Structure 1
Amino acid sequence: MCKENISEKKKFTMPHIFIILYAIILLVGLLSYVLPAGVYDRVADATTGRMIINPASYHVVKSNPTGVMDLLEAFPNGFVDAGYVVVLTFCVCGGFYVVNQSGAIGGAISWLAKKMKNRGIWIIPILMITFAAIDCFIGMCELCMVYVPIILPLMLALGFDSMTACATALCGSAIGFTSAIANPFTTIIGQKIAGLPLLSGWQLRLISLIVVGLAGIVYVMSYAAKIKKDPTSSIMYEEDLVLRKELETSSNQEKKMTGRQKLAGIAALVMFVVMVYGVFQWGWDTPEIGGIFMGMAMVSGLISGMRPNEICSTFLNGCQQVLLGALIVGLSRGVSVVMSSAQITDTIIHNLATVLQNLPASVTSVGMLIVQTIMNFLIPSGSGQTVVTMPIMAPLSDLVGVTRQTAVLALQYGDGFSNIFYPVSGYFMATLALGHVPYGKWMKKMAPLFVIWTALAAVFMVIAQLIKWGPF
Structure 2
Amino acid sequence: MKEHGKEPGTGLEKEARKPLLQNLHVYVLLVGVLMMLTALTYVIPAGEYETFDDPVSGRTLLLPGSYHQVDSSPVSFFSMVGSIQRGMIDASDIIFFILFAYGFVNVLIESGTLFGAVGAMLRRFKGVGTLIIPSFMFLFGILGSTVGIFEEVYGLIPAFMGIFLALGYDGLVGGAVVVVGVATGFAAATLNPFTIGVAQKIAQLPFGSGWPFRVAVFIAFQSLAVFYVMRYAARVKRDPKLSFVDGVAFPMGEGVDEAQIRSYPFTGRHRISAFCLVLTVVLVITGTTQWGWYLDELAALFIIMMVVVGRINGYGFNRIAELFVAAVGRVALGALVVGLARSLTLVMTEGRIIHTVIYWASNVVSGLSHNFAAVGMLVVQNLLNFFIPSGSGQAAASMPIMVPLADALEIKRQVAVLAFQFGDGFSNLIWPTAVATECGIMGVPIQRWYRFMVPLFLLMFVLQVIFILVAVAINLGPA
TM-score range for the pair, normalised by the shorter chain length: over 0.9
| Displacement of 1:414 | 0.5
Q: Which amino acid is the alignment partner of residue 162 of structure 1?
A: G
Say whether 1:453 aligns with 2:463.
no
Superposed CA offset, 1:86-142 (max 9, x none): 121111111221233233322212122333444532321111111101111121211
Residue 345 (structure 1) aligns with: 354
Residue 381 (structure 1) aligns with: 390
Residue 99 (structure 2) aligns with: 90
| Displacement of 1:251 | 5.0
SS at match of 2:432: coil
Question: Which of 334-343 and 15-24 deviates more?
Answer: 15-24
1:97-176 matches, within 5 Å, as 97-118=106-127, 120-176=129-185
Residue 372 (structure 2) aligns with: 363
| Displacement of 1:412 | 0.9
Q: 1:35 to 1:231 in 2, by over 3 A?
A: closer
Superposed CA offset, 1:396-454 (max 9, x none): 110122111001111111011111221211xx434433333211111112210000000
Question: Which of 209-218 and 149-158 deviates more?
Answer: 149-158
Q: Which runs of 5+ in 2 are unaligned?
A: 9-13
Q: In 1, Cα distance between the equivalents of 2:127 and 2:17? A: 44
Residue 68 (structure 2) aligns with: 59
Q: In 1, Cα distance between the equivalents of 2:440 and 2:285? A: 22
Residue 195 (structure 1) aligns with: 204
Contact 1:103–1:253 (8 Å) recurs in 2: no
| Displacement of 1:256 | 6.3
Superposed CA offset, 1:211-263 (max 9, x none): 11221111111111111111222222333587544446995995163x44543
| Displacement of 1:57 | 2.2
Question: Which of 197-206 and 227-236 deviates more?
Answer: 227-236
Q: In 2, Cα distance between the equivalents of 1:442 and 1:306? A: 37
Aligned length: 468
1:48-447 matches, within 5 Å, as 48-118=57-127, 120-239=129-248, 244-247=253-256, 251=261, 255=265, 257=267, 259-425=268-434, 428-447=435-454
SS at match of 1:447: helix
Provide the alpha-carbon RMSD of the alignment. 2.4
Q: Which amino acid is the alignment partner of residue 155 of structure 1?
A: F
Contact 1:112–1:154 (8 Å) recurs in 2: no
SS at match of 2:162: helix
State the percentage of identical aligned residues: 34
Within the candidate set 452, 456, 473, 1:466 is matched to: 473
Superposed CA offset, 1:352-400 (max 9, x none): 1111111222300110010000000001111111111111111111012
Contact 2:336–2:440 (8 Å) recurs in 1: no
SS at match of 1:43: strand
Q: In 1, Cα distance between the equivalents of 2:30 and 2:440? A: 16
Contact 1:263–1:304 (8 Å) recurs in 2: no
| Displacement of 1:83 | 1.8
Q: In 2, Cα distance between the equivalents of 1:159 and 1:95? A: 22
Q: Which runs of 5+ in 1 are unaligned?
A: none
SS at match of 2:444: coil
Q: 1:240 to 1:228 in 2, by over 3 A?
A: farther
Contact 1:260–1:305 (8 Å) recurs in 2: no
Within the candidate set 13, 17, 38, 2:20 is matched to: 13
Contact 2:75–2:347 (8 Å) recurs in 1: yes
Q: Taking structure 2 as the reference length, what is the TM-score of the superposition? A: 0.91
| Displacement of 1:294 | 1.0
SS at match of 1:424: helix
Q: In 2, Cα distance between the equivalents of 1:442 and 1:339? A: 25
Question: Which of 402-411 and 298-307 deviates more?
Answer: 298-307
Question: Which of 4-13 and 404-413 deviates more?
Answer: 4-13
Q: In 1, Cα distance between the equivalents of 2:450 and 2:198? A: 31
SS at match of 1:237: coil
Q: In 1, Cα distance between the equivalents of 2:323 and 2:100? A: 12
Contact 2:122–2:262 (8 Å) recurs in 1: no
Q: Which amino acid is the alignment partner of residue 333 of structure 1?
A: R
| Displacement of 1:351 | 1.2
Q: In 2, Cα distance between the equivalents of 1:288 and 1:440? A: 33
